[in-house]
Amino acid sequence: MQTSENTAVIDIGTHSVLLLIARKSQSGRIEIVHQASAVGRLGAGLTLNSNIADREVNSVLAVLRDFSETAQRFRARSVHLMGTEVFRKASNGKQVADFFSRELRHPMKILSAEEEALFAFAGAVTGLPSREEPILLIDVGGGSTEFVLGKDRRVREWSSIPIGAFILAQNEHLRETLSPGLQEKLNLEIKQYLAKIPFSAGIKRHTVVIASGGTAGTLAALSLRMKEYDSKKVEGLVLPRNRIQQLFDRINALSADERRRLPGMEKGREDVILYGILIYLNTMNRFGLSALQLTDRGARFGYMSYVLNQGS
């Protein structure tokens, strides 16, 4: 089957940097060629200072150069950079984005909150079969969480809240163990944001609930005890609420060193994973959800689809 040339998208987030190299098949589907991820923590210190710090910029630039070289090895005809909440929040977000674009000589787009939500939904459904039921996507990132309600692959409503796993963790000075008192404090904060989501009444029992983002992928890897991450095994995995709570309790009882040794724990996520899980647990309580269906596909897949369809 004839396919288009390879294209690369690099998603630069508050906590992680994600590389997707893909191409479009003759049938129009996205074919994954290569994926990679790295912890960048571009948003480190952002709650204390409105600027992205030079140290974090240089650290992420090294990751971007490595990913750009990887794209060249896979003969990607073009590389597209996309930025999310950290660039929207920082007062120097546009300057940092322009710097990355100049240094790497690749175009970069800072997504609005709406664009991030729409691309996250578009990316998630690329891995799903067509279905009649409505779909709720919950995408917990490092700096924000997107909620998208759609049907027939079309978005009906969306909402974004400016908290994510890394932002919550940083606000609490990356505390490794969450005491009952701290959990109560965090739950209250998360609930206050969730109460602002306007379309909870539109979420019915038959709604298919999809979870994406680094926390979701790590939950899948931990549940399956993956020694090597396999995105194919993540896609479609269903985790009931009690299993997610069990994973939270188990991780919370371990030190950071012990967590790093867990099969499935991504390096650099051991000190933020609990905060992301709390967002999911509170969301499940808010909407009365009994389980989550996990996907490895997020906004980078939606942006890839957009780029490929533009013929870039």
DSSP state of 248: H
Mean pLDDT, range 177-194, rounded to an integer: 97
Query: What's the mean pLDDT in 241-250?
Result: 98
Residue 264, pLDDT above cutoff 80:
yes
pLDDT of residue 48: 58
Class in CATH terms, 128-294:
alpha beta
Q: Identify which of 83, 202, 213 has the alpha carbon closest to the alpha carbon of residue 141.
A: 213
Residue pLDDT, tens place only, 110-127: 999 999 999 999 999 988
CATH code for residues 7-112: 3.30.420.40
pLDDT at 152: 81
Number of Cβ atoms within 10 Å of the Cβ of 308: 18
> 20 has which bridge partners?
9, 35
Which two three-digit tokens encode residue 143?
A: 């700096």
Burial of 26 (0-12, 13-18, 19+ CB in 10 A): exposed
Query: What is the average per-residue pLDDT within 265-281?
Result: 96
Q: For CATH 3.30.420.150, list the domain ranges present in the chain.
A: 128-294
User: What pLDDT shows up at residue 283?
Assistant: 95
Q: What is the mean pLDDT of residues 81-93?
A: 96
Give the 3-state secondary structure of 263-278.
CCCCCCCCCCHHHHHH
Q: With a cut of 80, say whether residue 231 has pLDDT above it.
A: yes
Amino acid 83: pLDDT: 98
Mean pLDDT (the chain, rounded): 93
278, pLDDT greater than 70 = yes
Average the pLDDT over each of 76-80, 187-191, 205-209 and give the range with the smallest value: 205-209
Q: Are 136 and 147 in contact (CB under 8 A)?
A: yes
- Percentage of the chain modeled with pLDDT above 90: 85
Judge whether residue 102 has pLDDT over 60: yes
Q: What's the pLDDT score for residue 47?
A: 60
H or E element that contains 168: helix 165-171
pLDDT of residue 49: 65
Written as one string, the DSSP assignment of 17-56 is: EEEEEEEEBTTS-EEEEEEEEEE--TTTTTTT-SSPPHHH
Whole-number pLDDT of residue 230: 93
3-state secondary structure of 152: coil
Query: Distance between CA atoms of 224 and 230, rounded to whole angstroms?
Result: 10
The pLDDT of residue 1 is 35
Section 79-94 average pLDDT:
96
CATH 3.30.420.40 boundaries in the chain: 7-112
**SS3 state at 161:** strand
**Sheet harboring 108-110: ordered strands across?**
30-39, 16-24, 7-12, 79-83, 108-110
Give residue 199's pLDDT: 86
Mean of pLDDT values over 33-42: 96
Cα 136 to Cα 207: distance, rounded to the nearest angstrom: 7
Share of the chain above pLDDT 70, in %: 97
